[in-house]
Amino acid sequence: MIFSGLDMMENKRGCSKRVREIRSSAIHEMTRLSSKIEDVAFLSWAKPTSDTPDHIKAAAVKAIGEGRVGGYSPSEGLPELRRLISEKLRRTNHIDAEGNEIIATIGAIEGLSASVMAVIDPGDEVIFPIPTYSTHIRQVQLASGIPVFVPTDETNGFDLDLDAIERAITPRTRAIMYCSPNNPTGAVYTEKQLKELADIAIKNDLFVITDEAYEYFTYDGYEHFSIASIPEMKERTLSSFTFTKSFAMTGWRIGYLHADHSLIPQIGKAHNAFAICAPVVSQYAAIAALEGPQDCIDEFREHYRSARDLMCRRMDALDHVFEYKKPKGSYLMFPRIISDGSEDSTKFCKKLLREARVSITPGVAFGPNGEGYARFSFCVPEPQIDKAFDRMEEYFK
């Protein structure tokens, strides 16, 4: 076997075809390059910059003090946490969830990995509306599934193209996987669209795997809809949620998945192999998050809406460089780069980083039709947005 210079550099030798075929993350690459530049205006991460609310931290400290976190919990999670999660899913997402249909996971990410592993066989096709969160694509590749891309279009706000999804279905199609509110585009799929998607899934006997990490972050009257709330979809939907975004708990690594009770024992096998259980200290923190005041969610949403509006205003002044659709949800914006007519988003972002000290993520990281776009994160303090746009205004003058 012949290895390229790059393979040698990345020490891919002997590693599985699965991992070798996975492209390294452009987000991490931008982070690495940004760390070499002093005083960078950093808009590359979709990570809350607020700290976890105090009552959640205090509950974790108490659990540690009382010696409750030194062992494993049941693999699916603490019964009290699963009960509270099922109540939240009924109340907020209108999903007819029982405690035994929940698994506490290591963030939404592990829930999604376990879901993919549980329903995808090697060679199965999984349909992705793109641009999408690239980790999902990697999860399918790790399960030896085949990602099938169905582009969404900027001109209609990156909404689902249901006809194109239907046309992409083959006898090998096993699932449709999406995130809404969407990373990177900020699209929010409506109840009407998701009901039509549900009809397609039912007609073709497909699973639907959802990432609802940004469920609380929608603006201008747009509302999040959980497809598992459609009664006929419950048995074929695997939905992942997280405390990361709603309660600013990124580093605690705690989320949960919901699926019909008939699927949980199978998904549980993958979860157990990946994790044994979610971090126990974080499960106690999550109990406090669900039991305690929920105002932080509204505060975060208001902060992101205001930051989005600021970013849009500042981007308007750069209308010779970027063209954008106002995001309806998440805390990300995905403008088209029009400054130099070049389609190469990676080159554009690297040059902007080097020459203007502004870090954004190349759109191509989110699927082939993301080329020519860039992702901007507005979950940062507003002065950081101003700093980045002051620099870009000067640079593109």
Site of interaction with ligand PLP (CB under 6 A): 46, 107-109, 133, 179, 183, 211, 213, 242, 244, 250, 255
CB of 39 to ligand PLP, least distance (A): 24
Spatial distance between the Cα atoms of 229 and 197, rounded to a whole number of angstroms: 13
CB of 276 to ligand PLP, least distance (A): 17
Contact 102, 82 (CB under 8 A): yes
β-pair partners for 125: 146, 173
Q: Which is nearer to ligand PLP, 208 or 213 (CB)?
A: 213
Contacts for 177 with CB less than 8 Å, ≥ 6 apart:
116, 126, 127, 128, 136, 140, 208, 209, 210, 211
Q: Which residue is nearest to ligand PLP (CB)?
A: 107
CB of 46 to ligand PLP, least distance (A): 4
> What would the two tokens of residue 12 be?
């891919």
What is the maximum alpha-carbon separation in the chain? 61
* Phi and psi, residue 16, nearest 5°: -65, 155
CB of 244 to ligand PLP, least distance (A): 3
Contact 254, 282 (CB under 8 A): yes
Q: Which is nearer to ligand PLP, 59 or 109 (CB)?
A: 109
Spatial distance between the Cα atoms of 207 and 203, rounded to a whole number of angstroms: 11
